[in-house]
Amino acid sequence: MVDEALSAGAVARRLGVAVTTLRTWHQRYGLGPSEHIPGHHRRYTPSDLARLEIMRRLTAEGVSPAEAARWARQAPDPTPNGTGVVAPTRIHPTGRDGGGSIPVGRAGPAARGLARAAMRLDAAAISETIAHALATSGVVATWEGLLRPVLAGIGERHAATAGLIEVEHLVSRCVSEALAAASRAKVPTGPARILLSCADEEQHTLPLEALAAALAEAGVSYRMLGARVPVAALVEAVNRTGPAAVVLWSHTRATADPAQLSALLAAPRRPLLVLAAGPGWRADTLPAGVVRPVDLAEAVSLSAAVRDSLDQSRRD
């Protein structure tokens, strides 16, 4: 049993609720951890988790917490050695989570928890899950294993139903805030040799924000121009700051005009490296000399390498 028992943080992430919510459910409704090993914090057993899962589902469906807790406490132990689940499967035809779920493919329990928190518009749980992942796994792993699957799942559901716009906006905001906090926590020293920018009219900034946080984590200084940068402004920024590399993000075909890349290559202070990042760009229309990274990790390593080579050539 000891091996299977979980901490409050792990249970919160699996359920997609904030740790403070778990504490409230414990204090007010007695749905707490039952395993106690002397000298350790109390741990949640699989039976505790199953009861909390009932609590989470029913409250998401609009049942009052007191009523949901009554059902959860009464439910027979649903784990393999128990006697089976009996809580009502659905109280209302569509729950307060908007019904349905966000597909996350093979992503792990944290992504499923984040997807559930997103459906409930539970900003505290969304932020807590992301912050925990960033602190424990780093930016690249959090992007690939947690944020990307949930963002892609939201896009998939939106494409199929035209819904979930409120979820998309709330999650985007929480992701931005968490990545900004991670970037602020590790501000690199030294001149900013990497310029990050979205293409003209491009509003999808999250992948670039992930790159900024990953660069900060790797100790690489950058300058971020953000969303919707007109090409003249981009070239002006290049001429004024002389970056070693420019990463230009385009998420959709509509913003992927290769003339923006050509303008960078023709700039008086032409950068050593121009990266065309994002699914908007078409490989067969990129000007010669432009590099297209396949993912976040490659964008980080190319940026770090070009920064190092510039620093080296300035020393020689």
Q: Contact letters (x/-) for ligand B12, 152-191, by CB under 6 A?
A: x-xx--xx--------xx--x---x---------------
Phi-psi region of 85 (alpha: psi -120 to 50; beta: other; left: phi over 0): beta
**293: amino acid identity, one letter:** P
Strand blocks (E) in the chain = 194-198, 222-226, 245-249, 273-277, 290-291
Q: Per CB under 6 A, does 210 bind ligand B12?
A: yes
Q: What is the DSSP letter of 6?
A: B
Q: Which residues contact 94 (CB under 8 A, 6 or more apart)?
A: none
Task: Tell me which residues in 56-95 interact with ligand B12 (CB under 6 A).
Answer: none
Among 202, 245, 246, 307, binds ligand B12 (CB under 6 A): 202
Size of the residue set binding ligand B12 (CB under 6 A) = 32
Q: Per the structure block, which two tokens stand in for 223?
A: 């300058």
Q: Of the two residues 236 and 295, which places its CB atom closer to ligand B12 in the complex?
A: 295
User: Minimal CB distance to ligand B12: which residue?
Assistant: 155
Binding-site member from 46, 98, 243, 278 for ligand B12 (CB under 6 A): 278
CA trace torsion 302, 292, 145, 135 (10° rounding): 30
Binding residues among 122-151 for ligand B12 as defined by CB under 6 A:
143, 148, 151
Does residue number 290 form part of the binding site for ligand B12 (CB under 6 A)? Answer: no
129 closest CA partner among 182, 69, 174, 62? 174
**Segment interacting with ligand B12, rule: CB under 6 A, options 96-104, 195-203, 216-224, 234-242:** 195-203
Angle between helices 165-185 and 123-137 (to 10 degrees): 40
Q: Are 154 and 146 in contact (CB under 8 A)?
A: no
204 binds ligand B12 (CB under 6 A): yes
In the complex, least distance from residue 168 CB atom to ligand B12, rounded to whole angstroms: 5
**158 with 164: CB under 8 angstroms?**
yes
Q: Which stretch binds ligand B12 (CB under 6 A): 49-57, 58-66, 246-254, 259-267?
A: 246-254
Residue 6 interacting with ligand B12 (CB under 6 A): no
For residue 106, give the H/E element and its range: none
Footprint on this chain of ligand B12 (rule: CB under 6 A):
143, 148, 151-152, 154-155, 158-159, 168-169, 172, 176, 201-207, 210-211, 251-253, 277-279, 293-296, 299
